[in-house]
Every structure is written in C-alpha cells, then in structure tokens.
Amino acid sequence: MVFAPAPQLTVTVERQGGGTPEMHVHPGGQGVWQARMCAGLGADVTLCAAAGGEIGEVLTALLRHEDIEVRTVRRDAGSGWYVHDRRDGSRDTVAEFPGDPLGRHDLDELYSTALAEGLRADVSILSGPAAPEMVPAEVYRRLAADLGTHGGTVVADLSGDHLTGVLAGGVAFLKVSHEELLDAGRADGDGDDALVEAARTLHDEGAGSVLISRADRPGIALLDGEPLLVELPSLQVVDHRGAGDSMTAGVATVLAGGGDLREAVCTGTAAGALNVTRHGLGTGRREAIVELAHRVRLRSVSSGP
C-alpha cells in the first residue's frame, strides 16, 4: 500500500530535437512515482489518495491507466498541480499549486481507507505531500503506529515534522536524503561519520533500519545496527528528480517479496540510479535494475577500500 495523501496533476512541455513542442500530462507526486516503480518491479500496488475539484477528476481518470489499484477519497478542495517547461533542456516552473490542506473529513476518510488497505498489504509506504502544511504530522504518527501494532511493515520517505511524526509512531525502514537531514538540523555535516551518527539517532527515535541517500556520493545505511557505505558506479544523468522515490520503492518491493535488508538496499539503490538516466519519474526497466543491483557494493564504513 502506498499512502499518497495529495497527488498532483503534472504538465510538462518538451521539444525533441528542436521540433514541435510536446505536452505530457500525468498523475504525479512522491507517492504516485513510488507506486509506479513498485509496480514496474512486479509488486501488486494499491495507492490510497485524496483528490478533488476539476484537477482531481483528471487525476483520478489518469490514475486508472497506471498499472496499480487506486483507492481515491473525494476531497472538498481542489487537488494540486504544476506546469514545467523543458523546451530548452532545463526544467523551468511556469506555475504550480500544491493544493489546499486536507480538511478533517478528508483526512478521516483517507485514514480509514489507508488503514484498511495497509492491514491487507505486506508493506506500506508512507509518502509526503507537495507542501508539508497539507497533512498534519500526527496523521503519519498514527498511521505508522496502527499499522505497526497490527504486524505491518512500514517504509517511510519523509522529512521535517512528518519525519518526526513517523519516527514517533515507529517505522521498519526509513529512507531520507542527507540534504533533508542537514536542513532539519539532524546531521552535523555530510561526511560519513556525521551521517552514521545521524542514522543512529534516527534508529534510537523509532526507525528499525535507515538508508540515507547522498546525491552522487555513496549512501549511508544502518542495517541491523551495522553502518554501511552503499556504492554504485555512476551513470550519466538525464534528470535527477525522482531518484529517491525510486530508491524507496525498490526497498519496499524487495521487503514485500520476503527479501532481506541488504538485497532491499541494493535493489533500491539500483532503481534510484537507473531513474536518473530517464525523463520519466518512477520509471525504469526491471531487468536493468536487477543487473545494476548486482553491481551495488555494501562496505563497512570503518573498513578500507
């Protein structure tokens, strides 16, 4: 189950080879991209989301074309959206609106839907909205606690107050970027020792295992209390956006299939690495991810090369 409280309608304008402009319209947002990658890796996925207004109608229709089950709650206010212009090769924001905060009724209905689907699932991913004020952090604490209490495996990819909330509820696996830790004052620097210490603190606060992505540098994992460097030969970057979401999806899919933590981290790292070679967010061919996963190396932080 993927908890995606407030997906967005994404509109991107591109120009291939200097030709006629093309417009691409898709459902998007962290949870949608994660669900798409999980499905691409062979998992059965149910997405739980709230959608409303004219944008919500379009979102709901587009989500039906994804290879996932969708449980949408009709929200009172309109859903969020963005328009990006990539005609010159860079991604320029033309206009965007994250959506209004979800109301009490919206949250009650969405919570019940996500709880029911999460109790049926082997693994639940808790993803964040486009703007933190849209969903209270308390929702993440409650959902993580309720799913965990009833034997569910919870994977989270959150930051800020939402991260604090899910830690209080307890989470089996936490993925977070080093930039988010630095912004929140949860890490003293981006070096190995500083991030290992940050991972240990996250573990003490409620995360069973931790994976910290670090852009083009090796990630840091804390698995069964052991700090590890996560290394993968670099690939040529087309678009770095979505790599972290694909990483989280890869981890969750392996755990849902009964794989161990090391396999999960290797697959997640490979999924994130492949995503940067593509324009589509949350995409990547399964066979390429499998091959790349064999090339990921987990090395003790304290060991030599």
pLDDT range class, residue 215, cuts 50, 70, 90: confident
What pLDDT score does 235 carry?
66
pLDDT in tens, 3-30: 999 999 999 999 877 688 999 999 999 9
Task: Compute the average pLDDT of residues 153-175.
Answer: 97
pLDDT greater than 70 at residue 237: no
Beta bridge partners of 152: none
Q: Is a pLDDT exceeding 90 seen at residue 203? A: yes
Closest CA to 37 of 4, 10, 6: 4
Write down the pTM of the prediction.
0.92
Task: Give the C-alpha separation, 63 to 92, whole Å.
Answer: 25
Q: What is the 3-state secondary structure (H, E, C) of the chain?
A: CEECCCCEEEEEEEECCCCCEEEEEEEECHHHHHHHHHHHCCCCCEEEEEECHHHHHHHHHHHCCCCCEEEEEECCCCEEEEEEECCCCCCEEEEEEEECCCCHHHHHHHHHHHHHHHHHCCEEEEECCCCHHHCCHHHHHHHHHHHHHCCCEEEEECCHHHHHHHHHHCEEEEEEEHHHHHHCCCCCCCCHHHHHHHHHHHHHHCEEEEEEECCCCCEEEEECCEEEEEECCCCCCCCCCCHHHHHHHHHHHHHHCCCCHHHHHHHHHHHHHHHCCCCCCCCCCHHHHHHHHCCCEEEECCCCC
Instruction: Choose the weakest-confidence range: 87-91, 168-172, 254-258.
Output: 87-91
Which pLDDT does position 105 carry in this prediction? 95
pLDDT value at 236 more than 60: no
| CB within 8 Å of 218: residues ≥ 6 apart | 229, 230, 231, 232
Q: What is the pLDDT of residue 196?
A: 97
State the pLDDT at residue 304: 43
With 90 as the cut, is the pLDDT of residue 117 above it? yes
Check if the beta carbon of residue 8 is closer than 8 Å to that of residue 130.
Answer: yes
Mean pLDDT of 229-243: 68
pLDDT at 240 (0 to 100): 53
pLDDT tens digits, residue range 250-290? 999 999 999 999 999 999 999 888 865 655 544 557 888 88
**High-pLDDT (> 70) share of the chain, %:** 92
For range 129-148, the mean pLDDT: 97
Domains of the chain (ranges; CATH) run 2-300 (3.40.1190.20)
Residue 121 pLDDT level (bands cut at 50, 70, 90)? very high
